[in-house]
Amino acid sequence: MSDQTTPTAVAKTAKITPKNAAFDFRKYRPFAFAPSLPDRTWPSKTIEKSPIWASVDLRDGNQALIDPMTIEQKMRFFKTLVEVGFKEIEIGFPSAAQVEFDFTRKLIEENHVPDDVTLQVLVQAREHLIARTFESLKGVKRAVVHVYNSTSRVQREKVYAKNKDEIKEIAITGAKLLKEYAAKYPETDWVFQYSPESFSQTETEYAVEVCDAVCDVWQPQQGQEVIFNLPATVEASMPNVFADQVEYFCRNLPQREHVIISLHTHNDRGCAVAAAELGVLAGADRIEGTLLGNGERTGNMDIMVMAMNLFSQGIDPELDFSNMSEIVQVVSECNNLPLHPRHPYVGELVFTAFSGSHQDAIKKSLDYNENNQTETDNVWDVAYLPIDPAHIGRSYQDVVRINSQSGKGGVAYILQRNYGFNLPRWMQIDFSRVVQKQAEAVARELQNDEILQTFEDTYLQQGKFELLDYNVSNKGGEVYFSGQVQMNNDTIDIDGTGNGPLSSFIDGLAQHTGKSLHIINYAEHAINPHHNSGNGIDDDTNSDNKTNANAAAYIQLNVDGEVYSGIGTCSSTVSAMLKGALSAFAQALSVAAA
């Protein structure tokens, strides 16, 4: 055997060092608290109904603000949460600050709490704080008192310097105190909630042990309502690992059938919504979070996003976000935090496509749906749009916006949606080149009125080229055109023959100018009356061929071997096609002159 070390062996035994000592990945270790769950069942499940939602905006969200909310802001936020449909709302930490206590009293004493809404408050497992908490809730019809203590290894060892038994005893003591103080206020329907804080970084079997000890105190099997809330106080693992922790907990808690399992995920790894969704698959009944995801560090689980995810899958989220713009305004103003333009579902740009291929697909999907409507097929199915923006109070105004990256479909969509021009494909290609050059020249997004102006300048206002008057007649199977056209301040008589008004007009133009003219493509459509204002459409009183709505005609003309496109609009379809041909011809002369 050779003593020479192979390259593979060297690679396996070489010491790996970071390229930058200040960015040293060796300080970190793989997640250490994943339970062994080889027979996990959650991957094969689907979410079929909405979980119980609990908003913690007024507590967890509030504590993460640079400037915590005033009582007035909290009241405005609370009313919005009620209007959205939340039935459980954590309103604060009454024992932590006077403003929190006063807000709790204000809600109760002034009857701001609907009968179907349950208040929730947070408190540490310490007697004087628990006593103050129950005092704040005096007279409430129903309330959740949420007690917690941290159970994670790092907190046990480095923060509290206590062993597992001592930490469990804190939880047991807190549970006993809740039961004791609740008995002093028998007029209230009390729900007890316990959180092993930092559940995600706690040995899962130990979390089960602590919660089972709390069950021994509260006796949920005897009728006491109990919630166990499992927080990913710090998101430290992939969502699938968190789901394993939740399923392990649900399987192994002896009183599982008598309690509600709640989740409270944070967004340190950017996966809070995913972790909550997988946690529901793993057996959780309830979700705590905030609207738009405000919370400590990178934020809490965004209830709006998770609810809209369900909505987009045809599941009733049991929360109403149809007035999304107003909800976002309240949340942003009360939190004094801006909303990212790409925030899922609600950001300014989330339903906006700049990419040409995206715009084209959106336009074609919407056109297909409009042209193939049936009474039984009302399912939303549009490329690049996961939901109908109208369902959350958004219009189609900003679905497509135009910059230098945009393509023919986007430009066509703008003209069709706003101004009634349904450009055929060959015209889309022609005009998109014009728009792209303009966008590149100004180096920014183009506004709709700028696109319309460019459209009119290119096709509808061809300088001094104008169809003045004409007459079309049939003789011996041929169509005769006779009329006048203004070209560069000269009035020119045009006479021609053909098999229709357009071909006879083209024949007359060819005879007068000596150019070779051939029609390549032609299309026309009526324009709805509500699109007529301010879009360059005019009337023509010289023809008997009028329509009830204005018409647009698109002409692609071969002039001496080169292809040019033109558009004409008029209340007469014949006049529109003639103007379209003149528009294309005027472009040809303009290019030749340049």
Residue 578, pLDDT above cutoff 80: yes
3-7, 252-256, 405-409: segment of lowest average pLDDT = 3-7
Mean pLDDT, rounded, of the chain: 87
Every domain of the chain with CATH number 3.30.160.270 lies at 466-593
Binding-site sequence positions: 60, 264, 266, 300
Structure tokens at 113: 């709490």
DSSP structure string for 259-321: SEEEEEEB-TTS-HHHHHHHHHHTT--EEEEBGGG--STT-B-BHHHHHHHHHHTT---SS--
Question: What was the pLDDT predicted at 531?
Answer: 53
- Beta carbons within 8 Å of 41's beta carbon, 6+ residues apart: 247
Residue 145, pLDDT above cutoff 70: yes
- Phi and psi at residue 503, in whole multiples of 5°? -65, -35
Question: What was the pLDDT predicted at 433?
Answer: 81
Integer Cα distance of 364 and 370 in angstroms = 10
pLDDT in tens, 289-301: 999 999 999 999 9
pLDDT in tens, 491-517: 888 898 988 888 889 898 898 888 888
Question: What was the pLDDT predicted at 537?
Answer: 41
DSSP structure string for 202-270: S-HHHHHHHHHHHHHHH-GGGT--EEEEEEESS--S-HHHHHHHHHHHHHH-TTGGGSEEEEEEB-TTS
Structure tokens at 388: 């109908």
Q: Say which residue, 71 or 514, is predicted with more confidence.
A: 71
pLDDT in tens, 336-348: 998 888 899 998 7
Q: 466-593: which CATH number, 3.30.160.270, 3.40.50.1370, 3.40.50.2300, 3.40.50.1440? A: 3.30.160.270
For 39, counting Cβ atoms within 10 Å of its Cβ (0-12 exposed, 13-18 middle, 19+ buried), the class is exposed
For 365, counting Cβ atoms within 10 Å of its Cβ (0-12 exposed, 13-18 middle, 19+ buried), the class is middle
Question: What was the pLDDT predicted at 476?
Answer: 76
Integer Cα distance of 443 and 235 in angstroms = 41
pTM: 0.72
Q: What is the mean pLDDT of residues 82-88?
A: 98
Residue 542, pLDDT above cutoff 50: no
Residues in the chain: 594
Every domain of the chain with CATH number 3.20.20.70 lies at 39-335
Q: What is the mean pLDDT of residues 512-524?
A: 85
pLDDT in tens, 4-26: 444 444 445 456 777 888 899 99
Q: Say which residue, 118 or 476, is predicted with more confidence.
A: 118
Binding-site sequence positions for Mg(2+): 60, 264, 266, 300
Question: What was the pLDDT predicted at 8?
Answer: 47
- Phi and psi at residue 388, in whole multiples of 5°? -75, 115
Residue 356, pLDDT above cutoff 80: no
Helices marked H in 382-498: 408-419, 425-442, 448-455
Question: What was the pLDDT predicted at 592?
Answer: 65
Contact 273, 239 (CB under 8 A): no
Q: Across-strand partners of 469? A: 484
pLDDT above 70: percentage of residues in the chain: 89
pLDDT in tens, 189-206: 999 999 999 999 999 999
Question: What was the pLDDT predicted at 419?
Answer: 83
- Phi and psi at residue 441, in whole multiples of 5°? -70, -40
Q: What is the mean pLDDT of residues 348-371?
A: 75
9-23, 260-274, 579-593: segment of lowest average pLDDT = 9-23
Q: What is the mean pLDDT of residues 155-174?
A: 96
Q: What is the mean pLDDT of residues 246-266?
A: 98
39-335 domain in CATH 3.20.20.70? yes
